[in-house]
Amino acid sequence: MIDARLLLALDGDGLDLPPEGTIAVFHPPLDADLPGIDKDRIQIIQGFKPDYDAWTARGYDVVRNVKDRYAACIVCLPRAKNEARALIADACEVCDGIVVVDGQKTDGVDSILREMRTRVTVRGPISKAHGKMFWISEPAAEFFADWKQGPSLMDGGFWTAPGVFSADGVDLASALLVDALPENLGAEVADLGAGWGFLSAHALTRETIKKIYLVEAGHMALECARRNVTDERAEFLWEDATTWEPPHRMDAVIMNPPFHIGRAAEPQIGQAFVAAAARILSPQGKLWMVANRHLPYEAELKTRFVHVEEIGGDARFKLFHAARPLRKRR
């Protein structure tokens, strides 16, 4: 837990944050309190919409991207190593003072520490609660310039970025769903959890579509989608797909919903996507969905739709078609 390590570091273990100026905190976990730092001095950097909204609701200054120079930066490491490197490079580029790095062992903090020690002098580390915190006392942007990464082209001609789902290639489940989509999807389509836009790019080969809404909570993923989907019929929405309110009911929903945020599978996320699809579809609307075969979505689908059928897949993934959403009585 970052809070325990931060308290130890500030309470005599060598971390001296500057007494004035804004402190940027990159991607802090939602259960953090960031003790020992005046709340008014903190700016949260968060590109994931639900977390952005949660930190905003707690009264913090929250932005999607770095806005200015900072007196100090704290980087909370994500699981993806390339994304972790990129965040550290971003912090070093905009920081005039100390850059603090914090992470859990399960998220690769030891590996990042070893890599950083080959480049700069690292202070600390503080070890507690199955993680580590360490820091650079002097600006070090030049030493981490090669870690800075933004959107880039992968094989196949699509733009992706570190930390984005399926950053290294086309997701096999999404490829299965694309092959199963009917020629006529209707005029108004929503792609829930659109990612970098693979499903929408293929759906837009249908001339019947008048508008497709790419609904994605990850800001970087949505920026990649803007590059991958250039059709004028596409609308890009930085929103939580489970709470998004469309301008009107949709004819179809296509989706490959996420099923985890941390390491463990969390099928309730996909179940929330199913509920959202039923909520935003027209009375005759249809859902086209792919999921990992071991995930328990059938019961939720049958609760939300009159008609549910498995329409194929393989040993790893299953494809669903559901129609006629059930409306709960008020």
Residues 59-95: tens digit of each pLDDT: 999 999 988 899 999 999 999 999 999 999 999 999 9
Q: Report yes or no: 74 and 26 within 8 Å, Cβ to Cβ.
A: yes
159 has pLDDT over 80: yes
| Cα–Cα nearest to 142, from 73, 88, 93, 84 | 93
Pairing, β 250-255 against β 211-216: unpaired
103: which 2 tokens?
């992470």
| Cα–Cα nearest to 56, from 67, 66, 46, 65 | 46
Q: Report yes or no: 210 and 184 within 8 Å, Cβ to Cβ.
A: no
Q: Where are the alpha helices (DSSP H) in the chain?
A: 2-10, 49-57, 81-94, 109-117, 172-180, 198-203, 219-228, 267-280, 298-304
pLDDT band at 168 (very low <50, low <70, confident <90, very high): confident
Q: What is the pTM of this model?
A: 0.93
197: left (phi over 0), alpha (psi -120 to 50) or beta: left
Residues 283-329: tens digit of each pLDDT: 999 999 999 999 989 999 999 999 999 999 999 999 999 999 997 65
pLDDT at 330: 43
pLDDT band at 156 (very low <50, low <70, confident <90, very high): confident
Q: Tell me: domain 2-147, CATH 3.40.50.150, correct? A: yes
Give me the residue spans of the domains in the chain.
2-147, 152-325
pLDDT at 63: 97
Contacts of 287 (CB under 8 A, 6+ apart): 252, 253, 254, 255, 274, 277, 278, 281, 301, 305, 320, 321, 322, 323, 325
Which amino acid does the sequence have at 1?
Answer: M
6, 143, 212 from 21: Cα distances, Å = 18, 24, 43
Q: Tell me: domain 152-325, CATH 3.30.43.10, correct? A: no
CA torsion 273-214-167-23 (nearest 10°) is -90
Residue 292: helix, strand or coil by DSSP? strand
pLDDT band at 265 (very low <50, low <70, confident <90, very high): low
Q: Average pLDDT of 246-252?
A: 97
257: left (phi over 0), alpha (psi -120 to 50) or beta: beta
